[in-house]
Homo-oligomer: A and B are copies of this chain.
Amino acid sequence: MTKNKTKIRQTGCPVAFGLDIFGDRWTLLVIREIMLRGRRTYSEFMEMEEEIATNILIDRLKSLEAEGLVDKERDPQNRRSFLYSLTKKGRDLAPILLEIIIWSGEHDKRSFALTEVLEKIEADREGFESGLRSEKGC
C-alpha cells in the first residue's frame, strides 16, 4: 500500500483539517460514486469514467475506512464481494459535493445542459440535498 497522507497539518484550521482527509484528486470521486450513483463495491467503483488505477482505489478505500467515512462489510448476497457504505461523517460531505457541483455548473464552459438542473438546485437547496442519491448533477 502506498503510504498516503503522511504529513498531517495539525494547525487547527478546519479548512486544512478537511483537506488532509479529502484534499486530493480521487477521494471525493469515490464518495460521489457512493452518494450520487449508488455504487457500493470495488468493481463498481472501477467502472467510473475517470479510470482510477487499482492501487489508488484500494488506497483511497482504506483511508476512507480508516478516517471513518465509509464502512466495509461482506455482501450477504455475494460472499466474495464487499459492500462499502457511507457513515454519517461520510454522508455529511454532501453539502461540499453539492457546492462543488454548483460552482462547476457556473464556471465550466462545457457545462452541457446542466444549467437547468442548477436552477432547480439553487431554488430548492434543502430538497435537493436530502435527495442527493437521485442521479441529478452527475
Contacts and interface: CB of A to CB of B under 8 A. Distances in A.
Given A9-B50, A11-B49, A23-B25, A17 B92 contact: no
B108 A103 contact: no
Interface in A1-60: 9-20, 23-25, 28-29, 32, 36, 49-50
Contacts of A96: 96, 99-100, 103
Contacts of A138: 13-15
- The interface size bin for chain A is 35 or more
A83 interface: no
Contacts of A12: 110, 112
A15 B31 CA distance: 10
A95 interface: yes
Nearest to A17: B104
Nearest to A114: B14
Interface string A47-76: 001100000000000000000000000000
A17 to B, nearest CB: 4
A106 interface: yes
Interface string A87-111: 0010011011111111111111011
A99 B99 contact: yes
Given A9-B50, A96-B100, 11 more contacts: A13-B138, A14-B138, A15-B97, A15-B104, A16-B29, A18-B104, A19-B29, A23-B24, A24-B25, A93-B103, A96-B96
